[in-house]
Homo-oligomer: A and B are copies of this chain.
Amino acid sequence: MNRYSISPKKEKFQLPDQKRTEQEIQDIHRKCEEAKRKGKEIVIIQGLGFVGAVMAAVVADSEVDGRLPYFVIGFNRPSISSFWKIPIINKGLCPFKAKDPEIKKIFHRTVTDRENLIATWVPEVFSDADILIVDINLDVVKPEFGNAKKSVVEIQKFSEAIIEIGNRIDPACLVLIETTVPPGTVEHVVQPLLEKCFIRRGIDIVKNPPLIAHSYERVMPGERYIQSIKNIWRTYSATSELAKKMTKKLLANIIDTHQHPLFELPNPTSSELAKILENSYRAMNIAFIYEWTLFAEDIGINLFEIVDSIKVRRGTHDNMMYPGFGVGGYCLTKDPFLAEWASNHFFKRDQHLNFSIEAININDLMPRHTFDLLREGMNFDITGKKIAVLGASYRKDIDDTRNSPTITLYDDITNAQGIPYLHDPYSTMIEQRRDILIHSNLDRVLEQADAIIFVVDHQQYLRLSIRKMMLKISKNACILDAFNVLSDPKIKLLKKHGFRVLGVGKGHIKDL
């Protein structure tokens, strides 16, 4: 039985059989030996997602005193959903679409030119590692929409990946966790598991305690993808002074620490907590503006210019967010809950992080407000109506659709018997919802649309000619600006031509 892994570009890759795997184990080990002879350290990245794949390229690309100190191996399990990333990387390509022009260059340079980066599916290679960087996901499942407290942390899968490491690595190998984890995970999960594995393998853990570090990335997919790894502050900590020293050396080799000095925290729990707090702060900031958005709309006020007038106060008020459509992505939609989970599971506290958890709920429910505006704009008659939904990714000009708030709106429209036509210039599919079709032809989506909802501020939408758009859509169409895509003059023009326009945070539209 042949099984295939299919890339977003529809390339088909056969999953490896046992023979090919055995060959791979030999080949990859030989390459490691060769690299070691050249004085290189072997760095393995476990998990080739949005962070791991690019992190692998950045580590492979780092130069110290004119030489390349690392031979990097990207590892991913040969699953149907992910195996394709391995042959793609080995062709010298990035497995993700990205606006950053550096992305293309760095994969070509490290894989093809310098032969310093390869990807593989065989965990046997872990035994060759000097440094193993964990970039796998630790997923949170939300069984109840809008009730984040009921979430489930898939710690079991994460633990299995750690055991896979513990069974193979040399005790001198540094294990650097980059995964966002509940605070306390290194101390309460990773360290005990690695120690158990070491003991089973006859390793004296008093002499050779596992070397474990935590340091979190601040990757931001988009135009500055590579820079968001290399040119940014890094916080780290580790389980011992030796592990801290090794981590510091690695980070100093890949990050511009002159501009962005490293922060060393006293223990891994502090570093883990820092990441969660950082993302929770952002989630809370977004949730905060939500109820003011509803207020501004109801009283006929443009909240955008008000936020502008406040954000000038740098250092105290410039982190304030604008009204928007909702929150997606892998981090803000779950990270506050990881602290709540740690609080219960690791530390047996009976106090809760209610305020931060509530931020997740508010943000999850936000796209429902856009749906309410749609219903209002359509006079509560959506049945059989063609609704153009513009934007599938959760952020401007990227193709990342993980936990996109568009999914909520899409389902709300469908449940109300409307017919959503989803468009995105970057994304071709939503991995977690393969049933949702994404169209790439904007004209086709706009044709005869009864409503148009802008949910992401992609460049293509910002540049859209309103005059041309008006020719394509239904004469009575409702236009809904959920992400400040339309300027006031554009809205005026639409209104002049008889279109009904509504906007999130734009209570002033009725007076335009």
Q: Measuring CB to CB, which residues of chain A are less than 8 angstroms from any residue of chain B? A: 183-184, 218, 233, 235, 260, 263, 265-267, 269-270, 273-274, 277-278, 280-282, 284, 287-288, 290-292, 294-296, 298-302, 305-310, 312-320, 339, 343, 346-347, 349, 351-356, 358, 362, 508
20 contacts between A and B (CB under 8 A): A218-B313, A235-B309, A263-B312, A265-B305, A269-B301, A273-B299, A274-B310, A277-B306, A278-B310, A281-B317, A282-B316, A288-B355, A291-B353, A294-B351, A295-B339, A298-B343, A298-B347, A299-B347, A314-B314, A319-B319
The 7 closest A-B CB pairs, nearest first, are A263-B309, A319-B319, A235-B309, A274-B306, A278-B310, A291-B353, A233-B312
Most buried by B among A273, A302, A309, A362: A309
- CA of A457 to CA of B307 in the docked complex: distance in angstroms? 31
- CA of A313 to CA of B294 in the docked complex: distance in angstroms? 29
Q: Are A320 and B281 in contact (CB under 8 A)?
A: yes
- CA of A301 to CA of B270 in the docked complex: distance in angstroms? 6
A354-B270 CB under 8 A given contacts A265-B306, A309-B235, A313-B233: no
Residues of B contacting A290 with CB < 8 Å?
A: 355
Residues of B contacting A354 with CB < 8 Å?
A: 291
Nearest CB in chain B to that of A310: its residue: B278
Residues of B contacting A296 with CB < 8 Å?
A: 273
Among B183, B281, B288, B301, contact of A273 (Cβ-Cβ < 8 Å): B301
Among B265, B306, B317, contact of A309 (Cβ-Cβ < 8 Å): B265
Residues of B contacting A273 with CB < 8 Å?
A: 295-296, 299, 301, 306
Among B266, B281, B292, B300, contact of A288 (Cβ-Cβ < 8 Å): B281
CB of A256 to closest CB in B, whole Å: 14
- CA of A431 to CA of B273 in the docked complex: distance in angstroms? 41
Among B183, B288, B346, contact of A284 (Cβ-Cβ < 8 Å): B288
Q: Are A299 and B183 in contact (CB under 8 A)?
A: yes
Residues of B contacting A343 with CB < 8 Å?
A: 295, 298
Q: Are A349 and B184 in contact (CB under 8 A)?
A: no
Q: Are A508 and B266 in contact (CB under 8 A)?
A: yes
Residues of B contacting A292 with CB < 8 Å?
A: 277, 280, 339, 353, 356
Q: Are B277 and A310 in contact (CB under 8 A)?
A: yes
Q: Are B508 and A306 in contact (CB under 8 A)?
A: no
- CA of A343 to CA of B302 in the docked complex: distance in angstroms? 16
Residues of B contacting A309 with CB < 8 Å?
A: 233, 235, 263, 265, 274
Residues of B contacting A347 with CB < 8 Å?
A: 298-299
Residues of B contacting A284 with CB < 8 Å?
A: 284, 288
Among B270, B287, B353, contact of A302 (Cβ-Cβ < 8 Å): B270
Residues of B contacting A280 with CB < 8 Å?
A: 288, 292
- CA of A347 to CA of B354 in the docked complex: distance in angstroms? 30
Among B233, B235, B270, B362, contact of A355 (Cβ-Cβ < 8 Å): B362
CB of A258 to closest CB in B, whole Å: 14
- CA of A319 to CA of B374 in the docked complex: distance in angstroms? 34
CB of A146 to closest CB in B, whole Å: 15
Nearest CB in chain B to that of A260: its residue: B312
Residues of B contacting A278 with CB < 8 Å?
A: 310, 313, 317
- CA of A265 to CA of B308 in the docked complex: distance in angstroms? 11
Most buried by B among A184, A294, A295: A295
- CA of A343 to CA of B298 in the docked complex: distance in angstroms? 9
- CA of A39 to CA of B345 in the docked complex: distance in angstroms? 75
- CA of A305 to CA of B284 in the docked complex: distance in angstroms? 21
Q: Are A282 and B349 in contact (CB under 8 A)?
A: no
- CA of A354 to CA of B292 in the docked complex: distance in angstroms? 10
- CA of A292 to CA of B301 in the docked complex: distance in angstroms? 34
CB of A419 to closest CB in B, whole Å: 30
